[in-house]
Amino acid sequence: MKIIRLKPGKERSLQRHHPWVFDGAIAKGGADAGETVRVDSAEGQFLAWGAYSPSSKIRVRAWSFDQAQRIDAAFFRETLRRALALRERMGIASNGLRLVHGESDGLPGLVVDRYGNTLVAQFGAAGVERWKDVIADALVELTGCPRLYERSDASSRALEGLPEVTGWLRGDGATAFELQEHGWRLGLDIALGHKTGYYLDQRDSRLALFEYTKRLKFAQVLNCFSYTGGFSVAALAGGAGHVTSIDSSGPALEQARSNLLLNGLDPAQATFIDGDVNASLRQFVAEGRQFDAIVLDPPKLAPTAAHAERAARAYKDINRLAFKLLPPGGVLFTFSCSGGIGVELFHKIVASAGLDAGVDGAILQRLGGACDHPMTINFPEGEYLKGLVVMKKL
């Protein structure tokens, strides 16, 4: 068993059961990609078992803080079983849900989503890459789902020195799927869609938009970064008069159009703009347009804290433009899914965007990722998705 020895004083975060060891914390030791190592303090005290990743700044990701734990097939099966049992206990009423959410489920780098009886997995770190076969077998056995598709094509794989891989790991067949969420039908494709096919993490926020629309009777809704129109369906189902959806992905907008039809909604109440959100917002401001509700759900602008400053400017810009498009009493649903931007910083960015736009707002609600994407006590980085519902003051 290879031992990684930390520098003096670097044992604190593992002692708090945070799963990451950065390269700068290591005094000596090394191993192959994904190999199980024992991590010791400078004094030689056991801290954790983890997976070594020679090319990543996150050099070790912990599997267990229990010295008696063996890291073997039984360990992965049991950890997966517990992640699945947690979802079962959460009682989520959708045929699409996240079964494994990486570090928050004790399996650093692994994401598994379930769509009906098909699983979609992302192997995002050297450790889970090495145990891929064991994990795939256990997933199929524990869920009873015969099909498992791999979507290891996130750009973060490069940080781990891993190539992009996609395709069937177990079973095969069609990759189109019809998600049922809050009684709506949403078509997606696990091979061609973003991430594993859909943004399951925004499930609760789509329901929130539906409910606000019913209550506040929004006439004009603007859905920025709409992807396949989940928020657009929510607004129209809630009785919105018209929804304008903007996305830079043509195929996503095609899917959005067909999702409207799938739900019996009237295409005459929808406009789709294939373009850049920033440019469209500027154009709407120039034209003096107004929207009663605006959704801003941009892609990850700051993957890590190092990108936070530049990303903060980009977030502020779109939020400032959106505030200008709201009439008094209009509502902004604004989100950030950047791990590098915390809840407080996001709040500050939105506040300063409002200030620049000359707008004061009442925060009606804070939103976050759905519960099958848990944030855990030991891994606050799990709280990557945050949102604010802000009403422009009258």
Give the binding site for ligand SAH (CB under 6 A): 194, 199, 202, 225-227, 230-231, 246-249, 252, 276-277, 297, 299
**Cβ 224 to ligand SAH shortest distance, Å:** 7
Give the residue with the Cβ less far from ligand SAH, 194 or 348.
194
Active site residue 224: no
**Cβ 307 to ligand SAH shortest distance, Å:** 15
> Which H, E and C letters describe the chain, residue by residue?
CEEEEECCCCCHHHHCCCCEEEHHHEEECCCCCCCEEEEECCCCCEEEEEEECCCCCEEEEEEECCCCCCCCHHHHHHHHHHHHHHHHHHCCCECEEEEEEHHHHCCCCEEEEEECCEEEEEECCHHHHHCHHHHHHHHHHHHCCCEEEEEECCHHHHHHCCCCEEEEEECCCCCEEEEEECCEEEEEECCCCCCCCCCHHHHHHHHHHHHHHHHHCCCEEEEECCCCCHHHHHHHHCCCCEEEEEECCHHHHHHHHHHHHHCCCCHHHEEEEECCHHHHHHHHHHHCCCCCEEEECCCCCCCCHHHHHHHHHHHHHHHHHHHHCCCCCCEEEEEECCCCCCHHHHHHHHHHHHHHHCCCEEEEEEEECCCCCCCECCEHHHCCCEEEEEEECC
Give the residue with the Cβ less far from ligand SAH, 110 or 295.
295
Give the residue with the Cβ less far from ligand SAH, 23 or 153.
153
Give the residue with the Cβ less far from ligand SAH, 65 or 315.
315
**Cβ 144 to ligand SAH shortest distance, Å:** 28
**Cβ 302 to ligand SAH shortest distance, Å:** 14
> Which position among 145, 224, 337, 371 bears the catalytic label?
337
* Residues designated catalytic: 337
